[in-house]
């Protein structure tokens, strides 16, 4: 079983739509949580960290549920430029490595 | 450009050959990481350096793989006797270190194709 599980999609949504991605992690020692964005054939870039209290950055909202070991990302008012792969990422307390999910592919259409 | 750089960007080699990749981290970053990404998968951790010390290695890093960071600045990743299964994108990342949140910044990667 992979440590971080995501629905690979693809999610095809029209501009302006709201879309939500979910992710589960298996290691209860996980300490830090992130969403990264990866454009086609490019490197991953940090989108946002995820905090227990939930956090928002513009159109993006991230939530963490430690009891259920579940992370979510909500994108409101989708833009064409949001089309990318969104990677759920977890770091175990004792280590420095980032554990990535497979990613969820999003395509926003006109 | 002050980001993480990697060289070469693409490498095509024949099975059995040795290859070496280079990573130059962001200048003030003392932590450096290597990851591997295959098609349809997220990056997988390979190894981590704090300055010149290699502190963590994944089970994925077989004995054909070796990584160095001799002076605590740039790093090299060598793959000996390449196999077709080594074909992947090799990503390097660096971070500043210290306490608290420590963002890892990724380089553009080296895409390896083993024929």
Measured from the Cβ of residue B86, the count of other Cβ atoms closer than 10 Å reads 20
Q: Hey, are the CB atoms on B43 and A4 less than 8 Å from each other?
A: no
Each residue of B14-50: b (16+ CB within 10 Å) or e? eeeeebebebbbbeebbbbbbbbbeeebbbbbbbbbb
- Give the whole-angstrom CA distance, residue A87 versus residue B42: 7
Q: Hey, are the CB atoms on A103 and B42 less than 8 Å from each other?
A: yes
Please report which confidence band the pLDDT of residue B2 belongs to, taking 50, 70 and 90 as the band edges.
Answer: confident
On whether any CB of chain B is under 8 Å from the CB of A8, the answer is yes
Token digits for A94? 């004792």
Q: How confident is the model over B23-81, as pLDDT tens digits?
A: 999 998 999 999 999 999 999 999 999 999 999 899 888 999 999 999 889 999 999 99
Q: Is the pLDDT of residue B1 over 60?
A: no
Would you say A80 and A15 are in contact if contact means Cβ atoms under 8 Å apart?
yes
On whether any CB of chain A is under 8 Å from the CB of B56, the answer is yes
- Give the HSE-up count for residue B21: Cα atoms under 13 Å, Cβ half-sphere: 29
Q: How confident is the model over A12-27, as pLDDT tens digits?
A: 999 999 999 999 999 8
What are the angstrom distances between the C-alpha of A14 and each of A2, A29, A58, A96?
A: 31, 38, 19, 38
Q: Hey, are the CB atoms on A42 and B108 less than 8 Å from each other?
A: yes
The whole-number pLDDT of residue A107 equals: 97
Q: For the residues of A68-84, what is the DSSP string, one character each? A: TTEEEEEE-S--GGG-E
φ/ψ of A69, rounded to 5, equals 55, 55
- Give the whole-angstrom CA distance, residue B16 versus residue B51: 31
Q: How far is A82 from chain B (nearest CA, A)?
A: 18
The whole-number pLDDT of residue A28 equals: 85
- Give the whole-angstrom CA distance, residue A110 versus residue A56: 25
The whole-number pLDDT of residue A92 equals: 84
Please report which confidence band the pLDDT of residue B100 belongs to, taking 50, 70 and 90 as the band edges.
Answer: low
Residue found under tokens 């070796």: B66
Q: Which of B3, B31, B36, B42 to mutate to test the interface with A (most CBs of A within 10 A)?
A: B42
Q: Hey, are the CB atoms on A42 and B45 less than 8 Å from each other?
A: no
Q: How confident is the model over A48-96, as pLDDT tens digits?
A: 999 888 899 999 999 999 999 999 999 999 999 999 999 999 998 767 8
Token digits for B97? 């270190």
Share the mean pLDDT of chain A. Answer: 93
């Amino acid at each position: 079983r992979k440590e971080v599980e995501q629905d690979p999609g693809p999610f095809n949504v029209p501009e302006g739509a709201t879309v939500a991605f979910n992710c589960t992690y298996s290691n209860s020692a996980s300490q830090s949580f992130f969403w990264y964005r990866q454009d086609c054939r490019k490197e991953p870039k940090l989108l946002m960290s995820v905090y227990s209290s939930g956090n928002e950055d513009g159109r993006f909202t991230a939530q963490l549920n430690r009891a259920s070991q579940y992370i979510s990302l909500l994108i409101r008012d989708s833009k064409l430029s949001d089309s990318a792969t969104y990677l759920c990422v977890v770091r175990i307390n004792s280590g420095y490595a980032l554990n990535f999910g497979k990613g969820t592919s999003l395509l926003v259409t006109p | 450009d002050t980001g993480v750089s990697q060289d070469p960007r693409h490498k095509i080699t024949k099975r059995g050959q040795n290859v070496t990749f280079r990573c130059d981290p962001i200048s003030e970053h003392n932590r450096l990481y290597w990851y591997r990404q295959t098609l349809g998968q997220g990056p997988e951790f390979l190894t981590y350096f704090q300055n010149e010390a290699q502190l963590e290695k994944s089970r994925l890093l077989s004995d054909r793989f070796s990584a160095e960071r001799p002076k605590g600045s740039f790093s090299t990743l060598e793959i000996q006797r390449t196999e077709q299964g080594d074909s992947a994108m090799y990503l390097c990342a660096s971070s500043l270190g210290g306490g608290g949140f420590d963002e890892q910044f990724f380089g553009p990667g080296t895409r390896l194709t083993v024929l």
